[in-house]
Structure 1
């Protein structure tokens, strides 16, 4: 099962350059506290940033599942951020990257 044997975690250059570290940390928070042990995770999972009345919400989904989960944060949303990110598990090396980097 993907995201169950974490060895190292990374964020791509494009990710680090496009969003604050707090948002990157939010992806890992969602994986660790809302997804692991609850869902069978694929090696690539999707995160979409949503403007929820000026605050950030992050929607999780994955290709072969109809399940979508939205987690709300008390963090200001910036419409200049890319809207789609991916978390990729490559044998325990987990990376957050923009969708365009896939």
Structure 2
């Protein structure tokens, strides 16, 4: 089962260059506190950044499942950000990447 035995957590250079660290931390927060133990996650999960009345919401989804979860944050949304990111688990090495990587 993916995202259960983290040996290291990373974000790609494109991710770090395109969104603030607080947003990257929000992905890990969702994985750790909203998904683990609730949803069986595959080795690749998807996140969509959403403008919710000027604040950030992040939607989790997987291609293999119709289930989605949206988590709202009290963090301003920036229209310059890319909107699609992925979390990849490669044998415990977990990495956030942009949609174009």
In 1: Cα distance, 2:91 partner to 2:37 partner: 18
Which consecutive segments of 4 or more residues in structure 1 shift more than 4 A?
none
Shift of 1:93: 0.1
List aligned pairs for 1:81-96, cutoff 5 A. 81-96=81-96
In 1: Cα distance, 2:37 partner to 2:63 partner: 18
Instruction: Return the TM-score normalized by structure 1.
Output: 0.98
Secondary structure (helix, strand or coil) at the match of 1:24 reads helix
List aligned pairs for 1:1-102, cutoff 5 A. 1-101=1-101
In 2: Cα distance, 1:49 partner to 1:73 partner: 11
Question: Unaligned 5+ residue runs, structure 1?
Answer: none
Query: How large is the RMSD of aligned CA atoms in angstroms?
Result: 0.3
Instruction: Return the TM-score normalized by structure 2.
Output: 0.99
The C-alpha deviation readout for 1:23-52, integer Å capped at 9, x for no partner, is 000000000000011111000000000000
Secondary structure (helix, strand or coil) at the match of 2:100 reads helix
The C-alpha deviation readout for 1:36-90, integer Å capped at 9, x for no partner, is 1111100000000000000000000001100011000000000100000000000
Number of aligned pairs?
101
In 1: Cα distance, 2:85 partner to 2:100 partner: 8
